[in-house]
Amino acid sequence: MKKYSVFAIAREAMRGHKGWEEQWSSPEPKKEYDVIIVGAGGHGLATAYYLATVHGITNVAVLEKGWLGGGNTGRNTTIIRSNYLYDESAGIYDHALKLWDGLSQELNYNVMYSARGVMMLAHNVHDIQVLKRHVHANRLNGIDNEWLSPEQAKEFCPPLNISKDARYPVVGAALQRRGGTARHDAVAWGYARGASARGVHIIQNCEVTGVKRAPNGAVMGVDTTRGFIGARKVGVVAAGHSSVIMNMAGVRMPLESYPLQALVSEPVKPVVPCVVMSNTVHAYISQSDKGELVIGAGTDQYVSYSQTGGLHILQHTLDAICEMFPIFTRMKMLRSWGGIVDVTPDRSPILAKTPVPGLYVNCGWGTGGFKATPGSGHVFAHTIARDDPHPINAPFTIERFRTGRLIDEAAAAAVAH
Amino acid sequence: MLLIRCPYCEEERPELEFRNAGEAHIARSANMAGESDDDFEKFFFIRSNPKGIIHERWRHMHGCARFFNAVRDTVTDKFIMTYKAGEPKPSKLPGVAK
- Could you tell me the sign of the dihedral formed by the alpha carbons of A52, A57, A60, A66, in that order? negative
**Among chain A residues, CA nearest to B51:** A305
| Domain assignment of residue A394, yes or no | yes
Q: pLDDT digits over B84-96, tens only?
A: 999 999 988 887 6
For residue A307, what is the DSSP state? S
- pLDDT, one tens digit per residue, over A195-208 is 999 999 999 999 99
Task: Give the CATH number of the domain where residue A148 resides.
Answer: 3.30.9.10
B97 belongs to a structural domain = no
The long-range contacts involving A18-25, CB below 8 angstroms and separated by at least 24 positions, are: A23/A189, A23/A192, A23/A193, A23/A196, A24/A68, A24/A192, A24/A193, A24/A195, A24/A196, A24/A197, A24/A202, A25/A196, A25/A201, A25/A202
Tell me, yes or no, whether B94 lies in a domain.
no
pLDDT at A1: 86
Kind of pairing, strands A293-299 and A283-287? antiparallel
Angle, helices A373-386/A87-100, rounded to nearest 10 degrees: 110
Residue B80 covered by a domain: yes
| Best residue of A253, A261, A303, A314 to probe chain B, by most B CBs closer than 10 Å | A303
Cβ–Cβ < 8 Å for A98, A259: no
Q: Is residue A17 part of a domain?
A: no
CB contact under 8 A, A254 and B41: yes
Could you tell me if residue B23 is inside a domain?
yes
Q: Do A327 and A280 belong to one domain?
A: yes
Residue B75 belongs to domain spanning: 3-84
Residue B95 counted as domain residue = no
Predicted interface score ipTM higher than 0.85: yes
User: What is the DSSP secondary-structure string of A173-210?
Assistant: EEEETT-EE--HHHHHHHHHHHHHHTT-EEE-S--EEE
Structural domain total, chain B: 1
Rg from Cα positions in chain A:
21
* Residue-level pLDDT, tens digit, chain A, 417 residues: 899 999 999 999 999 999 999 999 999 999 999 999 999 999 999 999 999 999 999 999 999 999 999 999 999 999 999 999 999 999 999 999 999 999 999 999 999 999 999 999 999 999 999 999 999 999 999 999 999 999 999 999 999 999 999 999 999 999 999 999 999 999 999 999 999 999 999 999 999 999 999 999 999 999 999 999 999 999 999 999 999 999 999 999 999 999 999 999 999 999 999 999 999 998 999 999 999 999 999 999 999 999 999 999 999 999 999 999 999 999 999 999 999 999 999 999 999 999 999 999 999 999 999 999 999 999 999 999 999 999 999 999 999 999 999 999 876 554 544
A-proximal residues of B, 28-47, CB under 8 Å: 37-38, 40-42, 44-47
Residue B82 half-sphere exposure toward CB, CA atoms < 13 A? 23
On whether any CB of chain A is under 8 Å from the CB of B20, the answer is yes
Pairs of residues, one from chain A and one from chain B, whose beta carbons lie less than 8 Å apart: 66
How many domains is chain A built from?
2
Same domain, A298 and A329: yes
CB A261, CB A338: distance < 8 Å:
yes
In a domain, A193, yes or no: yes
Contact A63, A37 (CB under 8 A): yes
Question: What is the domain extent for residue A219?
Answer: 28-109+183-254+346-413
In a domain, A372, yes or no: yes
